[in-house]
Structure formats: C-alpha cells, structure tokens
Structure 1
C-alpha cells in the first residue's frame, strides 16, 4: 500500500458527530481495528462464564444499581442525547426516566419469567423446564432513542445471565460510550457490557464470530434483512424491530379533542423519528373534515426550535440526509396527487429542521401511503366507514403498531384484538413502550419481542430436563 493510500485509509477510520441543531461538529472518534473489535468479543465471552454463574439475585442487584446510576446521571445523559440527535431536552429526560424504570421492572421480570418450572411426565417422572443464558448477545441499535434502544435489550440479557455487545449508530457514538460508563459505575464486571466502535463491514464479521450466540437489531427493513441473512448463514437467532407506517383510525364516535391531541403528539414526539409513531391517519367520512381542520391547525402551530428551549415542540432531524430524504418523499407524494395542508417546505438557516407537515389525498402508490415517513409528516386518508378503515390500516407491508379512537371501548378492543394486523395497538391515546407489555411487530416490521416477559426469554436456552427415575 502506498503512503498516500495508507493516509486515506487512516483518515477514513475516523468520524465526527454533528450537532443537528447547528450543523457544527461535536466530537471525533476512531473506529476500532478488527483485532481490537475481536478482543472485545473475546472479553465478553470470557466474562460470560463467571457472570452466568452468578445467582439471579446477584444479577438483579446489579441491574437495580444500574437504574440508580441512570437516575443519578440523568442530566448528563439527557444533555448528550439532545446534543447528538436533536431530540427535545424534555423528551430526553422522559427517556432517561423510562430506562431507569425498565431496570427496576426487569429485576422482577427475570424472577417471574426465568424461574424453573416442574411438570409431571406421563410415566410418573418429573420434568424440569429451565431457562439458561446462552452467551454473548450482539445488539445493533439506531440513533433515535440512544439510551432506551440499548437498555431495553441489554438489561434483559444481562439479567438473564448473558453478556452484551453494542454497535450504536455512528451519530450517537458518545451516548453509546456513556452507557458503557454507566455500567461501569454500577459495578458490572468488565466484559458484561461492551461497546464496539466499528463500521458495517466489521459488524458483519462480528455476527459471524464463533463466540456471538445471538443478534438483536432495531432499524430499517432493508438493514434487518441483511443482518438476518448474515446471522442465518451461521445459524444464529435474531430479533428484529424494524420500520412501520402505523395507521391510527379515527371512527365516527371518537372524542375529537382527545383524538386530535393524541394524534399530533403521536406524529411529532421525538421529532417524528419513532418507529411506532402515528404516521397514517385513517379517518371516517362522517368526521373527516372536522378532524382534518383541527389537526391541521394544531400542526401548523407546532413551534420548531432549539431542543434546549423549553418552548420548542419540535427539534431538528437527526441528520441532514434524513431531512433531505423525508422532503423527497413529500415531493414525490405531491407529484402523485397528494396535497400539502401545512408545512412541506425546506426551511433555510442553520440546523436540520423540518416543519410539521400534513398531506391530504394520500393514496396507494405514494411514499406517504406505502413507505415509512421518519419525521414530522402526517398522511391523512379519508375512508367511508369502519370496514374501509380496517382495510386501509392493514394495507401495508408493515405491522408494528397502530391506534383506534372510539368512545365504544369494547368495539375498539374487538378491532384491535381480531382485525388489526400489528404487534401493538393503542386505544384512545398514544404512548411509546410499556415495560410490562411486549414490544415488536409482524410482517416487514420484524419478529421477536422485547419487554413484557417475552423479551427476556428471547436469548435463553429453554432446556428440558427429564427425571425418569
């Protein structure tokens, strides 16, 4: 290799995180070499032996300390997340509080869902079902919830006795490294939780490493398909939480005040950059115009601004390319017949801001109908009745979440239970994740679950011990 080529390679092994509110650089990081990355995997594998032999009570005490550590460092964590990816400072504080609560919940969850079970055998013997850790679990996580995306898989796995690796999104590398520091402050042994600062090609090699026993990933459907293929080629289980274009149905007997406020929050929370955000609003004809007018007025009033300004309701998008891509989806939808009711124009000035936007006349064949809009753009779809609302809501290759607004809760519950083709449904409101409820989707939104008891069993060996005499 020539000296010039070596310098280019060395330069390409360093990257810079950017403040999305200004476009200014934050910090510089060097990517690990393959040898450095593999050494981290080896350390995680070595740590697994001792960690997996600790009692559930000991592991639970460590998770409890982690929750206390997160609460103690709340301002440090929240400030960094808002600087790195642009979420409102208030949303960052919410995320920190939720993650500390997940730690508390997981301790009891492990005791409930990982406890040994005895079952009688047909010949009079006794069967034992036991849930044993399997080793090193590799997590590939996105930037939109820098702490939560990590805590929700990492805490469940360390509580179960596994050790954990993290490849975080490049633009929130500082947050990833801070999470590793929080584990250290909480007293976790070296190697139980580790961060890999690597690129995508190196990540593929980590998946293939003999000591990695499972892979969990949150991100786009295309990335999920790639990771599943790489893991499947070496017969490793994956859990994938992918994208969606969640439909929220507003039926004729909905409480309009509640529906409008919930739908606005569901579209702009976290700057609209949420996999389980409300994205398509499927409204029956009888109340369509009333909902539309009030929804548009509320969206028009959303104030874009500095994430650290308490008066801001919408911060910048996390990266410039993401904003450009979102605007192109809006442009192509309009080109195909959608109508902009508010927003939809690229703002000038510093930072990667995009206004709260509402599109009407949205139909199949448009990005606003078919694809995920990962930003503050809402798609309004007018339907004749409940039956058409259900059909349109399910007319998607995705199936993560969705919502129903109706004063008849029994009616909404029946639709949610029997007719909605998603992993999660909200009735008469919008929320994110609940620690005691499973989180995940169907169709091209992925497979596997996190939270709610199901998540803590994803990467354990469900072992049958048959005592016959």
Structure 2
C-alpha cells in the first residue's frame, strides 16, 4: 500500500511520500535509544511541563489538523475537532496524574519484616523505546492514548502509522518536537508494514503496542513473542447493544444511531449488534430505522454532514460483501444497503443501513462491520440477550439499556467484553481502562493500568 493521502470523499490522491530507507530507519532507532538514555532520568515535573505544552499547541492547531484528518480518512470535520480536543484533554490528565499513578508502593510493614528486609518497596521504571503500530480511524486519538502515558512514564515512542494518514503521522512528531521534547523522544516512521518485523526484532526496541486488525495483531504478537517482548493489542470488536423493556426506549434508539455511525461507523467500540427484547422490539426498531434514515450523508468538510465516506475503497467493498451475503442468506434490509445515488460517481460513501432477520450462519453475524451498518436481533429475555451478545469472537465493549438493577448486575457479571456501559453508549476516558478480551486483544490502555503496561515493575528490597 502506498504511503499517501487519498481523499476518500473524491478518490483524489493529494500527497505521496517515499518510505524510509534502511539507513533512515537505523538513524531513527539510534536516535530513540540515545534519547531514552537521557529522557528516562527526567522528573515527572519536567515531563508534565512538556506534555502540557503539547496540549496547548494541539488545541491551537485543532482547526487545521482536523481538516487534515478529514481529508485523509473522511471523518466529519466536527468530529475531527472533537478528537483533537479529546487528545489535549488526555495529555493534560496524564501530565497531572502520572506522578501519583506511578508512585512507589510500600507493602505492609509486617510483610516487609516477614520477608527479612528492613525496608522494601515497588518502583515503576520506564522500559525504553516502544513501537506503536496504529490505525487510520482515529489518527490522533489512537496515538495519543499510547503516547501520553508512555512519555509520562519515561519511555520514548516510535510510530508506524497507517499508510493512508501520513500527514497526521508527521504532524504528531512535529507536535512533540515543538513542545520541547528532546530529539528522538517521539518519532514517526514512514514505512510499509513489511518493515515492521525488522524494527520489532531490533534489540533497541523493547515493546510494542498495536491497534488494528486481527491479522495484524497476530503478526506483531508472534514476532514479539519470538523476541520475548511485551505487547498490548486492541484488535476491534463487534459490540452488542442490549435493550430491555424497562429501558427508556426512545432515548436508547436515539443514542443507538450515534453509537453505530460515530466516525462513519468505523470505530472499534461502535455498537454494531442491536439486541432488543421482543416486548419493545417494534418500538425500538421503528425509532432506530427512522433515525438512521434521517442522517445526512455528504462532504465530511461540510459542518452539517452526519456521515462521510468510508476511509478506503476496499473498506467499502468489504462492507458491501457482508451486506450482500446477509441478504442472499435471507436477511431483511430495513433501510440503506447501497451506495448513495448522489455519490455514485465519486468517493467511497455507503448509506446508513439496518439489517434484520440475521442468523448465525451469516458472515455479518460473526465478522466486524466497519462502516454504518447495524444488525438487529429480537430476543425473548435477558438470558437470550446475553447469549447473543456473547456469540462473537470479539469482546471489546458492550451496552445495556435497562431500569432494573438486577439486570445490570447480571449483565456486568456475564458479559464477555472488556467494558460494560449501562444506559449510555461506549466511550473512552483517560481515567478508565480501555481494552478487550477474546480476539479483541489483551492489555489495557488509559488509566493507571495503561501507564503501567510499559513499565518495569521493580521490587526494591533492603536487608534488615
């Protein structure tokens, strides 16, 4: 895949870039190792000052970088500005909290004595250069949610971003440089996927984090495992959205529209499978379909656009194949299901779509729909809802709409996902851990769990 900005609203190639040579990569790796040797000894105060400066710059740059993101991957420009604001917020959160999150831990005095020590504590130390392999769908946020905690912990970052968002990738390196981070603390590697293995096997790279597809995750995990290097993986999801009779059905249906089409439907944590109790099925279905039909599909740079194009032509083709397979196998299209007529000759647009009568044999039941397509299920009770919700190889997040406390406790206990969101759509926040189970990956980002993923958790023991 070429390293290029291709506007998904028009199909026009705007900029192309040459991949780094082997010599260029060596320079970057050497610079990262040299930077870590000094940066690891800096104080939390120094790191926080730099990260706060990066947040200031990002907020000032938000209108411009938002337009770059929109032209690179198609998200509505208002959502792109919100993404930049969220990144700045997360930078500030880690700048303010990292010292507390990574403070030395002291066991109970009785346990210290029992170990034969006069004193003992646990210290969190940085690991070194970490390779981040990141996707295009949230081209700032996916990177910052790794970079902010990693830099505050004293690590340095090497970014291999998706090949269709090179301008955003280069912006991130420039942002941290302008904020005053020492040279080599955060570097962008304009490389193809074929160059990742050699970089990950380099002894100067100590760990990796990847957000992306399951095949990409398997590949990186296998290489890292062979080298005995730590990894964190977030590999997508097929999140369930369960609605029970005691829920505010009108609110659940309105929120469901946003939950499905956020980021043009290209979000790992977007609700994708809508599982509704039979007593409120028709009420939810009618409101949900009406909401999806009302969405405005159009130019993502237009402030009034709700849904822009998919990020790539292949992405739209993959989505169409899932829908076509479902229809051929007996599913019912309640709305959408095709390319918008107004954009038949340009861009990679697809109509907001709702599909009912889905069965387990259909591909769309098992595979992630990365675009504005929702599947709708009718269930008889919470037991069946949980069974359908968990009938997926993924386990990233889940949603439940109910007014029953017993149902909340039951769902929180039995959901197979890494997150359970009740009476609201899934969202990420720097104070809350983010990650999944099953084929959605392992490890956690954000919160204290995320910053500790790339730390050497060190026992310091002093004899009595």
The equivalent position to 2:389 in structure 1, one of 390, 393, 397, is 393
Residue of structure 2 equivalent to 1:21: 9
Contact 1:248 1:403 in 2 (8 A): yes
Matching of residues 53-452 of structure 1 within 5 Å: 53-119=41-107, 120=109, 121=112, 122=114, 123=116, 125-347=118-340, 348-408=344-404, 410-452=405-447
CA drift at 1:416: 3.9
Residue of structure 1 equivalent to 2:463: 468
CA drift at 1:419: 1.2
* Secondary structure of the structure 1 residue equivalent to 2:302: coil
Q: Please, what TM-score do these two structures have when normalized by structure 2?
A: 0.96
Q: Please, what TM-score do these two structures have when normalized by structure 1?
A: 0.95
Contact 1:38 1:206 in 2 (8 A): no
In structure 1, C-alpha distance between the alignment counterparts of 2:203 and 2:29, rounded to whole Å: 10
CA drift at 1:311: 1.6
Contact 1:412 1:427 in 2 (8 A): no
In structure 2, C-alpha distance between the alignment counterparts of 1:305 and 1:55, rounded to whole Å: 48
Q: Would the alpha carbon gap of residues 157 and 15 (structure 1) be closer, same or farther in structure 2, given more than 3 Å must change?
A: closer
Contact 2:334 2:353 in 1 (8 A): yes
* Secondary structure of the structure 2 residue equivalent to 1:53: coil
In structure 1, C-alpha distance between the alignment counterparts of 2:26 and 2:416, rounded to whole Å: 41
In structure 1, C-alpha distance between the alignment counterparts of 2:359 and 2:276, rounded to whole Å: 13
Unaligned segments of structure 2, at least 5 residues: none
CA drift at 1:391: 0.9
Query: Which 4+ runs in 1 deviate beyond 3 A?
Result: none
Q: Would the alpha carbon gap of residues 26 and 415 (structure 1) be closer, same or farther in structure 2, given more than 3 Å must change?
A: farther
CA drift at 1:417: 2.5
In structure 1, C-alpha distance between the alignment counterparts of 2:228 and 2:299, rounded to whole Å: 46
Q: Which digits, 9 at most, give the CA deviation of each residue in 1:211-237, with x for residues without a partner?
A: 000000000111101110011011001
In structure 1, C-alpha distance between the alignment counterparts of 2:65 and 2:452, rounded to whole Å: 29
The equivalent position to 1:46 in structure 2, one of 2, 26, 34, is 34
CA drift at 1:113: 1.5
Contact 1:80 1:174 in 2 (8 A): yes
In structure 2, C-alpha distance between the alignment counterparts of 1:395 and 1:102, rounded to whole Å: 33
CA drift at 1:124: 5.3
Contact 1:213 1:236 in 2 (8 A): yes
CA drift at 1:67: 0.9
* Secondary structure of the structure 2 residue equivalent to 1:170: coil
Unaligned segments of structure 1, at least 5 residues: 1-11
Contact 1:206 1:212 in 2 (8 A): yes
* Secondary structure of the structure 2 residue equivalent to 1:118: coil
Contact 2:397 2:426 in 1 (8 A): no
Q: Which digits, 9 at most, give the CA deviation of each residue in 1:184-240, with x for residues without a partner?
A: 111111100000011111111111011000000000111101110011011001000
Contact 2:313 2:348 in 1 (8 A): yes
In structure 1, C-alpha distance between the alignment counterparts of 2:408 and 2:275, rounded to whole Å: 17
Q: Which digits, 9 at most, give the CA deviation of each residue in 1:235-289, with x for residues without a partner?
A: 0010000111100000111101110111100000100000000000000111111
Residue of structure 2 equivalent to 1:4: none
Contact 2:153 2:451 in 1 (8 A): yes
Q: Would the alpha carbon gap of residues 46 and 217 (structure 1) be closer, same or farther in structure 2, given more than 3 Å must change?
A: same
Is 1:459 the counterpart of 2:464 in the alignment? no
In structure 2, C-alpha distance between the alignment counterparts of 1:381 and 1:78, rounded to whole Å: 36
CA drift at 1:452: 1.4
CA drift at 1:349: 2.2
In structure 1, C-alpha distance between the alignment counterparts of 2:120 and 2:432, rounded to whole Å: 29
